[in-house]
Chains A and B, each alone.
Chain A
């Protein structure tokens, strides 16, 4: 690994920590101090490997790819959400090439806890907005949203607008941050 790449990783590691802390501080009272926001670290991957064997997953995504992704894209943002020792969700994304937009590429939820199961996507949105602001991005993009009902909801109520797929790039929801 080149020294400049290593320095970027270290610098952005600090920014990732700041963003997770900012997001944690900004959660509503029913989630604050109850859920913990961390990176996709060894603990998260270990928990995932147990959950991976369950049949309830709708996607067959191997999150063990996440650390490699974060080395390939040193400005990427990884998030794991915890309730005590239970892994609730994993999220991964990165800034666009120009760094002016923060992409939220993929979220997978593992919790069925009715108290906060419906809030997992919202927590990721807040964390990605926090990281986007910290690195100076101007927009937040949710890449390849596939649930029409949620696309309509986020478009109508959360300040997002829908961008169709163009020039081979995926479709996404976008809002200014």
Chain B
């Protein structure tokens, strides 16, 4: 990737970061602090391949 392309991605990520890390409702913040995992390990044990859209 060119430095310009990387710079563009970084700018886009900073916008996403603002969105993702904006102040959250209290109940959601508590849920995020409490929850220890997201997703499911079965994804890796039996990953879908060609059939996935």
- A contacts, CB < 8 Å to B: 18, 22-23, 25-28, 31, 56-59, 61, 65, 69, 73, 92, 94, 96-97, 103-110, 114, 117-122, 124-126, 129-130, 133-134, 142-147, 149-150, 153, 157-159, 166-170, 177
Contact = CB atoms under 8 A, between A and B. Distances in A.
Interface string B1-41: 10000100110111011111110110111011101111111
Given A25-B10, A26-B13, A107 B51 contact: no
Interface residues of B, number: 39
Interface of B: 1, 6, 9-10, 12-14, 16-22, 24-25, 27-29, 31-33, 35-44, 47-53
6 contacts: A22-B9, A106-B37, A130-B13, A133-B13, A134-B9, A168-B51
